[in-house]
Chain A
Amino acid sequence: MTLASTAVENASLLAADPSQLIPAREQMAFTLGFHIILVPFGVAFTFLMLIANYRGIRRDDAQAMLLARRWSQVAGVLFAVGAVSGTVLSFELGLLWPRLMRNYGAAFGIPFAVEGLFFFLEAIFVAIYLYGWERMRPWPHFWTGVPVVLSGVGGTSSVVAANAWMNQPQGFELSGGRVVAVDPLAVIVNDAFWYEALHMLLAAYMVAGFVVAGVYAVGLLRGRRDRYHRLGMAIPLTVAAIVTPLQIFMGDVAAREVAHNEPAKFAAIEMVSRTGTHIPLVLGGAMVDGEPRYAIEIPSGASLLVGYSPRTRIAGLNEIPADVRSPDRLVTTVHLAFDVMVGIGFALLALALCFALLWWRRRVVPENRWFLRAVAVSGLLTVVALEAGWVVTEVGRQPWTVVGYLLTRDAVTTSGNLWLFFTATVVLYLIVGAGTFYVLRLLRRRWRQTDAADADVPYGPSRASDEAGAGAR
């Protein structure tokens, strides 16, 4: 904490005009919150697509092949929107947070350089895979999809490395408030890197798995009880069901790491007002006048989870100097977001176990209405959990941008009027978001119509009608 207080002194010397702080934070939150929903579809949905593709070739399964092909079309649209919304984020790092980039870019930028490499590979192979269905041979075509999945994992890990560095900055030396020496490996493989990256990757696979399964569960509920829909639900649901318990385990590990390495964030997560032992696990409630209220408390729960003993000592919010302590409102936000994330995680674990049990007993894809309804809802829930988890790590870091070094209010730009930029961005993103939904629904409607006499034969020769029918595009 001494480190923190000296940095505060340094920071306030160059205290900025904070009037841009609110629009800058809102804009970053909004655009990142938009982009993060698309991430699982570039990273993990492509893996589901390859499973279907593999099955299609190996078992000569036309339905699986059709799924793979259609999923690749969906992935294409979502990848495009994800690519451009990701580009906006890189502009925003400079447009909104120039002081972060000026002083720390030499360290903070390195993981992004690595990410750029993976993004390149991903964009190239997505294109080859997406447009290679007609004229490439099955196995070579399948293999062009593998780099997409691998670079998705690499790219996500790199971006998360940058975020983890903000939480646990290391691998650099400062002089005059600016980075003067760097250890690139220590920047990338910082202490928070491995658990944040694994947690995010598993989250991406859960989101893609449950959302896609949910779409086909809705189809099954509406009476389209054919093999196509059963398979479309079974593949993603199986992946999600395998990943969910791993994620619960991973989340537990991550929370413990946060408790040790980012005590301020953990204090907000559990609304620990004062340092002590026998700290309860707090469910729900809110922070009012510096004390947790209206919450269900499980005695010594937090202490037990962190150190396996009720006598485990946990640092409280009182340890944080008053001028860099989060206001109650933000503590409540972090805490509730954490509860939402964990709550949804356990609900999904129950669903995964239920699926495993039903599968083990009957060896068929369950078509019980209640089960299908739960799967349909699970897709939305995972997205909520993803956003909530992101709120925990981002809001939980406040008021810091780089913990202990750079306050968010000192990182923000002083140029221009961000409200205008923010308004334009919100309007544009709402249109793009609505457009994405519309286009995906349109695809679905078209597929439904062609389902009766499906003419899309993957790996067939290009049909002459393709040329004439611009409508097929």
Chain B
Amino acid sequence: MSTFAAVVLFIGVVAYAVLGGADYGAGFWDLTAGGTERGREPRHLVDQSLAPVWEANHVWLIFCLVMLWTGFPGAFAAIMTTLYVPLGLAALGIVVRGSGFAFRKVLVRTQEQRVVGAAFAISSVMTPFFLGTVAGGIASGRVPSAGHGNPLTSWINPTSLLGGVLAVLACAFTAAVFLSAEARRREEPDLERWFRWRARVTAVVTGVVALAGIAVLRVDASRLFSGLLSRGLVFVLLSGACGLGALALISRGAPRLVQALAVSAVGAVVVGWGVAQYPFLLGTHLSIAAAAAPRATLVALTVVAVAAVVLVVPSMALLFVLQQRGRLEV
């Protein structure tokens, strides 16, 4: 029962990493798109493709938080009292990002657009970075079961920094793949090339960082390291294969396939982390079973999860289908 609840929670984490990640990554490209004139086209595309979906993608974070605090309240309190610095910064980053994006769509004067656009873009990079450091702190076992761990070294450490950097890169990669497909759908070949080139670069950089990361984990988080290379190995290899596949196929068309490969590459890493850490929620000191809420609570969460599958999944599919078919005009 508790494992099932943990799986549901983790599905939320993977969905947020992929869907929320693509959103954050769009902000990354917005930030690096260059000056007003040069960056106009890519920024326009980011605006157009992000507007209808960012809020829905964002709800996955709420889903994760709620599942965590209800299903595993002790672990939630432990994480919050230890990693409060990056979590607080991420929360404020989310405010800046969401409101900056919503405001930019309305503003017309370049000067104003630039200010809120920069706020949106910078927070789009900071937020996943901080969330990545949180993941690293949890994965490397730096959150004690009772909470109140070291407020600095819990997130300023090799694994956390790796987590933060990988998060930003993975976001940028998925976003570049999605945006190049979007540019293709809109028949804008220049933009398509612009994003495709960036997708390639980030794919390579992400791959290199991930490989280097293995060395970091070996030194800094040996349990995670051995987990990733034993039970998690399938997913690590799958992620690498999907990444390479996406890299190879991106210029040959079939955008759907490339998108699926990119999503799998990112998703598989996150799943690998979860599998490597199983059966522990925090380090090797708090197991999923020990952290779980009473049975009836887990049953209630299961009911909610089933309702989500019945109601939310088709709705979300409708949203994505309408967007992909160009029925939603920004």
Contact = CB atoms under 8 A, between A and B. Distances in A.
Interface of A: 73, 76-77, 79-81, 83-88, 90-95, 98-99, 101-107, 109-110, 112-117, 119-121, 123-128, 130-136, 147, 179-184, 413-416, 421, 424-425, 428-429, 432, 435-436, 439, 442-443, 446, 462, 466, 470-471, 473
Contacts of A134: 329
B289 interface: no
Contacts of A425: 92
B316 interface: yes
Given A119-B59, A121-B311, A442 B106 contact: yes
B96 A428 contact: yes
B304 to A, nearest CB: 5
Given A87-B95, A110-B301, A120-B308, 15 more contacts: A81-B99, A86-B62, A92-B91, A99-B77, A105-B69, A110-B300, A112-B69, A114-B304, A116-B304, A124-B319, A179-B293, A416-B151, A425-B92, A436-B99, A473-B330
B108 A471 contact: yes
Contact of A120 (B40, B63, B82, B102): B63
B81 A132 contact: no
B147 A98 contact: yes
Given A110-B300, A121-B315, A105 B327 contact: no
A101 B59 contact: no
B149 to A, nearest CB: 9
Interface of B: 40, 44, 47, 51-53, 55-56, 58-59, 61-63, 65-67, 69-71, 73-74, 76-82, 84-85, 87-88, 90-92, 94-99, 101-103, 105-108, 116, 147-148, 151, 293-294, 296-297, 299-301, 304, 307-308, 311-312, 315-316, 318-319, 322, 326-330
A116 B59 contact: yes
A470 B117 CA distance: 14
Contact of A117 (B297, B312, B327): B312
7 contacts: A98-B81, A106-B297, A107-B297, A184-B297, A413-B84, A432-B96, A473-B47
Given A128-B52, A135-B328, A473-B330, A101 B77 contact: yes
Nearest to A80: B102
Given A128-B322, A439-B103, A95 B80 contact: yes
Given A81-B98, A435-B103, A470 B40 contact: yes
A224 B252 CA distance: 58
Given A124-B56, A179-B293, A414-B148, A117 B304 contact: yes
Which of B58, B70, B101 gathers the greatest number of chain A CB atoms within 10 Å?
Answer: B70
B98 A83 contact: yes
B67 A113 contact: yes
Q: Which 8 A-B pairs have the closest CB atoms?
A: A109-B70, A105-B73, A94-B80, A106-B293, A102-B77, A80-B102, A84-B98, A131-B328
A113 B56 contact: no
Contacts of B84: 95, 413, 415-416
Nearest to B58: A83
A120 B311 CA distance: 9
A40 B300 CA distance: 28
Contact of A415 (B90, B96, B148, B304): B148
B58 A117 contact: no
B103 A184 contact: no
Contacts of B58: 83, 87, 123
B294 A106 contact: yes
A120 B61 CA distance: 11
B73 A109 contact: yes
Contacts of A429: 95
A103 B59 CA distance: 25
A124 B307 CA distance: 15
Contact of A127 (B55, B61, B71, B87): B55
Contacts of A87: 58, 61-62, 91, 94-95, 98
Contacts of B326: 135
Contacts of A470: 40, 44
A123 B59 contact: yes
Contact of B327 (A73, A80, A124, A135): A135
A103 to B, nearest CB: 7
A116 B60 CA distance: 9
Contact of A84 (B44, B51, B95, B147): B95
A95 B88 contact: yes
A106 B70 contact: yes
Contacts of A128: 52, 318-319, 322, 328
B107 A442 contact: yes
Contact of A106 (B55, B63, B73): B73
A445 to B, nearest CB: 10
Nearest to B146: A102
B260 to A, nearest CB: 21
A462 B329 contact: yes
A128 B51 CA distance: 10
Given A80-B102, A127-B56, A184-B296, A91 B67 contact: no
Contacts of A414: 81, 148
B308 to A, nearest CB: 6
Which of B67, B304, B316 gathers the greatest number of chain A CB atoms within 10 Å?
Answer: B304
B312 A124 contact: yes
Contacts of A436: 99, 103
B77 A133 contact: no
A131 B51 contact: yes
Contacts of B329: 131, 133-135, 462, 466
Contact of B95 (A73, A109, A181, A428): A428
B55 A123 contact: yes
Contacts of A133: 329
Given A95-B88, A128-B322, A136 B327 contact: yes
A94 B148 CA distance: 12
Given A116-B62, A121-B315, A127 B297 contact: no
A98 B77 CA distance: 5
A436 B97 CA distance: 14
Contacts of B107: 439, 442
A117 B294 contact: no
Contact of A439 (B67, B77, B106): B106
Contacts of B148: 414-415
Nearest to A127: B52
Contact of A132 (B40, B294, B327): B327
